[in-house]
Amino acid sequence: MPDSSRPRRPHRPLRSFLALLCAVLLARGGGTALAQAPAPQAPPPSAAVQGAPVPATAPEKIPAAQLDSLVAPIALYADPLLAQTLVASTYPLEIIQLQQWLAKNKDLKDKALADAVAKQPWDPAIQSMAAFPDVVKRLADDIQWTTDLGNAFLDQQSDVMDAVQRMRKKAQETGALKTSEQQKVETKVIEQKTVIVVEPANPQVIYVPSYNPVVVYGPPVYPYPPVYYPPPPPPGAYFATAAISFGVGMAIGAAWGGSCCGCGWGGNNVNINVNNNFNRNVNVSGGGGGNWQHNSQHRGGAPYSNKATANKYGGSARGESRQASARTGGAGGAGVSNRAAGGAGGAGKAGPSDRAGGGAGGYGGGGASNRGGDQIGNRSVPSGGASKGSGAFGGGSGGYSGSSAKASSSRGASSMASAGGGSRGGGGGRGGGGRR
């Protein structure tokens, strides 16, 4: 009788057969199947990681009616002042710096003023604006509107010039815009294009008009920017002589060499004036002058309104400041603060705010802190901010946030070189800007 207490062992022939079968399968099919299986691939590095430029889409165009309201405060300026103001609006940081500089140099007049401002490292259009302190104050007091105007001019220059003509036609139809002791208004045909030209009555003296847009143009489709306007005349007195007023004429003769530029209405261009004393201080190519071209070296840390324009001028666009902070905000480097304006970026240097305080709705104010040593790009902002609480760049969702756009504090090449060539601010950030 067999002993049932001994353990049974597997049948050796069966175990050998199974081992042989597995070896055959691996040799004929299994190895091949494993070799043919595609290996998982890591996702390609993004363009931002590689440092490659991100393709820019075409910016959305500002509607004509919105451009009309945007240019309303300056459309009736004499052509030389109009052209100079449009150019200056593309350099909002330097407008703020000029206003602060003028506040500290109130006693300088005429040639002494021209000589002193020529030593400042600003664009010729900004230097020339020193002759018009009231206009500088108007631009700086509502820096958000000024910034939107400059961005629109960079993106849609021809459309902006057409908007000026539409507004001049409206003012002419209401009887507000006409020839006077201060200016000469004419309708001309320039390069097969009918335009309204406004020139100073005396080429050496420019008067700055002051007017209420609702009176001279009529009700707007889009709200007019809330810059300062004189109170309207009483009801029933809306006649032409009360619609536009003029202050003291500003001499732009020998001390200034005329305005920096003029309007080329045929091609909707801004023509440079090579006889302007500030344009003479830089290298102006082309001999007889030419069309104005934006110089990004004088843009400071102000971002452009969209990626396409930023790529064109070698700067950065709105919304890129946080990325710039991650790239440059290390120890010892200039950073971009994600706190309120004027916060410290990287260790050792201060940077612009990525949360410029904005006014609620409309053309919001607010902006960068003006504490000593603060910077926007690598341009320092002196103490003392713009009046009315406006900082360097306010504006919530539609306004300026900080930027890492590089700038040169030296004069560099002039924007007056020949050849070549916005949305409204909303509420945002931590309330209405100002000092933190």
Show the 3-state SS of 248-261: CCEECCCCCCCCCE
Instruction: Give me the pLDDT at residue 19, please.
Output: 63
Q: Are 266 and 393 in contact (CB under 8 A)?
A: no
- The model's confidence at residue 181, banded by pLDDT at 50, 70 and 90, is very high
DSSP per-residue letters across 304-362: BSSHHHHHHHT--BTT-HHHHHHHH-STTS---BSSSTT-B-STTSB--BSS--B-SSS
What does the alpha-carbon distance between residue 203 and residue 259 come to, in Å, rounded to a whole number? 10
**Residue 95 token pair:** 């407008």
CA distances from 45 to 42, 49, 249 (A): 9, 6, 61
Residue 196 pLDDT exceeds 90:
yes
**Residue 319 token pair:** 């919304």
327 lies in the same domain as 421: no
Residue 403 pLDDT exceeds 50:
no
What does the alpha-carbon distance between residue 386 and residue 8 come to, in Å, rounded to a whole number? 98
**Residue 39 token pair:** 């290996």
What does the alpha-carbon distance between residue 82 and residue 31 come to, in Å, rounded to a whole number? 79
Q: Are 178 and 120 in contact (CB under 8 A)?
A: no
420 lies in the same domain as 372: no
Query: Tens digit of pLDDT for each residue in 105-159?
Result: 999 999 999 999 999 999 999 999 999 999 999 999 999 999 999 999 999 999 9
338 lies in the same domain as 276: no
Residue 28 pLDDT exceeds 50:
yes
Q: Is residue 399 part of a domain?
A: yes
198 lies in the same domain as 313: no
Instruction: Give me the pLDDT at residue 300, please.
Output: 86
337 lies in the same domain as 191: no
CA distances from 70 to 63, 150, 245, 251, 416 (A): 11, 10, 21, 28, 24
Q: Is residue 53 part of a domain?
A: no
102 lies in the same domain as 134: yes
Q: Is residue 167 part of a domain?
A: yes
Q: How far apart are the two ends of the chain, measured CA to CA in Å?
A: 102
pLDDT-wise least confident of 112-116, 187-191, 257-261, 421-425: 421-425
Distance of CA 283 to the CA centre of its chain: 24
Q: Is residue 43 part of a domain?
A: no
Which range among 41-55, 357-371, 416-430 has the greatest average pLDDT? 41-55
- The model's confidence at residue 341, banded by pLDDT at 50, 70 and 90, is very low
Residue 139 or residue 12, greater confidence: 139
Instruction: Give me the pLDDT at residue 235, please.
Output: 55
> What average pLDDT does this structure show over 197-211?
94
What does the alpha-carbon distance between residue 324 and residue 334 come to, in Å, rounded to a whole number? 10
Instruction: Give me the pLDDT at residue 51, please.
Output: 53
Q: Is residue 348 part of a domain?
A: yes
Backbone angles phi and psi of 2, in degrees to 5: -70, 150
Per the prediction, the chain carries an average pLDDT of 71
351 lies in the same domain as 308: yes
Instruction: Give me the pLDDT at residue 101, please.
Output: 97
Query: Tens digit of pLDDT for each residue in 293-311?
Result: 999 999 988 899 899 999 9
Backbone angles phi and psi of 343, in degrees to 5: -70, 160
What does the alpha-carbon distance between residue 74 and residue 5 come to, in Å, rounded to a whole number? 111
Q: Are 360 and 375 in contact (CB under 8 A)?
A: no
> What average pLDDT does this structure show over 188-204?
95
212 lies in the same domain as 315: no
What does the alpha-carbon distance between residue 180 and residue 304 come to, in Å, rounded to a whole number? 39
291 lies in the same domain as 315: no
Taking residue 221's Cβ as centre, other Cβ atoms within 10 Å add up to 10
The DSSP code for 261 is E
Question: Quick one: CA dihedral 389, 395, 399, 404, positive or negative?
Answer: positive
137 lies in the same domain as 264: yes
Residues facing 261 on adjacent strands:
272
Instruction: Give me the pLDDT at residue 13, please.
Output: 58
Which range among 86-100, 302-316, 403-417 has the greatest average pLDDT? 86-100
Give the range of the structural domain holding residue 120, as residue numbers without chain letter.
Answer: 58-232+243-299+415-427
Predicted TM-score of the model (pTM): 0.64
Count how many domains the chain has.
2
Percentage with pLDDT > 70 across the chain: 54
